[in-house]
Each structure stands twice: as C-alpha cells, then as structure tokens.
Amino acid sequence: MKSKKLSEQIIKTFKSNGFVLSEPDVLLDSEYIIQRSGENFRRSMLTFENEDGKTMCLRPDLTVASCVKFLEKKSKSKIYYSGQAYRRNNKKGSDLVNDQLGIEILGSKNQLQDDFKVIKTILNSAEKIKSKNIQVKVSDIGLFKRLINSLDMPERWKLRLIKHFWRPKYFEELLERLEKNSDIDSVTFDTDKKRFYEMKKMEQGKVIAGRSIAEILKRFDKKIKDPRSFSEGKEIVKIIRSFLKINCKLPQLDVRLLDFANKNNLKKNIFKEFKSIQSLKKLNQEVIFITNFGRDIEYYTGIVFEIFAGKKEIARGGRYDDLLKSLGAKKDIPAVGAAINLKNI
C-alpha cells in the first residue's frame, strides 16, 4: 500500500509537469534491438522464441522500449511510464526485474531547458515522497568527447576511446596499449582492409548495428589511412587520467576545468559550451561533478546524473541524442530522460 501511494504521488508530479502516460510494449523483437543498438544489449536480454520461431525479449530497458513506441508513432514526445524492465546484470545479488517510474522528452527542442526540466522533475518527486539527504551526482559524456577530439593523436585512437568510454575495464586496457604505443596488430589491420573492400560491394544504405554501410566505410577509410606510427601515447594517457580524476562540488567546477586546461596546454574555452551542467547551480540540492561517472550505459551522449537519498540511488538518467537514429529514425532526434528506482524508495 505504501508503495502504491508513493507511486501515485510521483505520477501526480509527472503529470503536473506536463508529462503524458505512455505504456511501452513489454515484448520486443530482440534481433531488431541488437541490430540497431549494438551487441551490448544481447548479454542483458531475457529472450525466448515465439510460436513463429522469432526471437523475442522482455524489454531490457524502458527508455529503449519508449523510443521504439515513439518511432511507431504511438506515443507523445513528452511522456512518463510506470512498469518493469527485465535485464540480466553481472552484479552479485542484483534483481532481474526492476520496477521503475520514468520520464522522457523525445525530440527535445531545447537542450538546456529540457535537461534541467527532467532533473528538476525527478527532484520534485523525491521531495514529494519525503526523501532526505538528497544529493545529485552529475557528469557529461560530451566533456570527454571534447577533450579527446582536442588531443593530438591519430583519428583511430580517438574513435576507439570515445566508442569504448562506456566500458571502463576495456577502456583501461586501451589506455595501457596507448601508453605503451602498442597499436592494433597487422593481422587485425589486414582484416579491416579486407572487410573494407568487401563492404564496398554491398548496398550502401543497408544498416548494421545502427549505422549504414556508407557510414561504416567512411570510418574504415579513416582507420586504414591513419598513420601507423605514434609516439606520444604516454603523455596523452597522462592527460586523460588526470581529467578522469576531477571530482568536485559544482561551484568549483569552472576553476577546476580551467586549471586542468592550463596545466595541459589546452585551449581555455574547450569546456565552455556545457551549459546544462552549469544550470544545475540553480538547484537547492548539493551537486557533485565527477568526470569518471555515468559511463555504464552506452547510449548516453551528454549530461548524465544520479540522485541519491543518503547512500541509496533513487534515480538516474541522462541525454541520449543518438539512440533514436540507431533504432531507425531517419535523422538524429535529441532526447533526455530519467527513471526512479522504486525499490530504493
């Protein structure tokens, strides 16, 4: 009964902020999700074959399920949902079923306004259910991308580091290779070249793992032409590791980032465009900024955040401007959202 009352209070807050109910499908075409969003979802899916032999899955993620419904023109652009996500997790003792209440702004037209709207709405919900000792942890994946693209290193390394930033263990292996100037082996390089020429003969508009053949070939071409010799890896890794140690209260962030840029001879305005984070200074709650945070979900592209009540994470979310295109939209559709973990309230 208590849980039901809490849910009703949260939903009332969502509605008062203009969010409309959407009910994403529980069953999804697993091959469609994997093909469009990448292999990482396969490991977490709970799948089965239906009577027609088609592989289906219980929705592993309510954001993805909401995006699929939106693209089918079955939902509004500013939605809330109440339901369960079904997902395997390597963490010991973690649940397969997660009860969530969430909000999404799909087709976000004003990044600064919408990022703040989502976080503020979730915080208002926490206040309504009388959560105490509220703290917000925040980062922005875009900051990392901006840093990597500003560094003087081969394009192939930039692509790798950005692509695998969400996989901390493998990302650390990449840093160690870069530090030792240990590039991909000749066999892998030759395989890339062979695959490049094979794909040139394929239909250029065909989509594989969320990208068209033409887009994949463009990346392959850059990778093949990129210079194989690079000797500044150790210094580059030192800069990246230094960046990933930045951890401070939000009011201190400007000084910390400027100091980091000066020490590493970077342009002083490299981090100046990230207004969504700075706008959080208007919140009453304490906000902690951590560069090495919010990396465990591949589709985030901008601001990422978690909201805690004491030591319990009660909500998390972020901006995901590439996900809808990877799921079949003809162009990028900016979006931002967050979900409350009902188990922790």
- Minimum mean pLDDT range among 152-156, 159-163, 216-220, 233-237: 216-220
What is the distance between the alpha carbons of residues 281 and 283, in angstroms, rounded to a whole number?
5
From 3.30.930.10, 3.40.50.1860, 3.30.390.50, 3.80.10.10, which CATH number describes the 1-131+321-345 domain? 3.30.930.10
What is the distance between the alpha carbons of residues 323 and 191, in angstroms, rounded to a whole number?
29
- In percent, how much of the chain has pLDDT > 70? 87
CA nearest neighbour of 138 among 316, 273, 310: 316
Banded model confidence at residue 134, pLDDT cuts 50, 70, 90: confident
* CB distance 45 to 30 below 8 Å: yes
Instruction: Please give the angle made by the CA atoms of 238, 240 and 243, to the nearest 5 degrees.
Output: 110
Which pLDDT score, from 0 to 100, does residue 1 have? 44
What is the distance between the alpha carbons of residues 238 and 321, in angstroms, rounded to a whole number?
30
- Can you say how many angstroms the Cα of residue 28 is from the centroid of all Cα atoms in its chain? 21
What is the distance between the alpha carbons of residues 111 and 335, in angstroms, rounded to a whole number?
8
Residues spanned by CATH 3.30.930.10 within the chain?
A: 1-131+321-345
The one-letter amino acid code at 188 reads: T
The answer to whether the Cα torsion of 215, 172, 295, 343 is positive or negative is: positive
CA nearest neighbour of 219 among 155, 175, 171, 161: 155
Tokens of 1: 């009964």
The one-letter amino acid code at 124 reads: N
- Minimum mean pLDDT range among 108-117, 167-176, 207-216: 207-216
Query: What tens digit of pLDDT does each residue of 181-221 get?
Result: 766 554 455 566 677 777 778 888 777 766 677 877 777 76
Helix intervals (H) in the chain: 2-16, 30-37, 62-71, 111-128, 141-150, 155-163, 168-179, 186-199, 213-225, 233-243, 253-263, 275-278, 323-326
The one-letter amino acid code at 97 reads: V
Checking if the pLDDT of 245 tops 90, the result is: yes
Other Cβ atoms within 10 Å of 108 Cβ, number: 22
What is the distance between the alpha carbons of residues 67 and 335, in angstroms, rounded to a whole number?
9
Other Cβ atoms within 10 Å of 310 Cβ, number: 12
* Burial (0-12, 13-18, 19+ Cβ within 10 Å), 345: buried
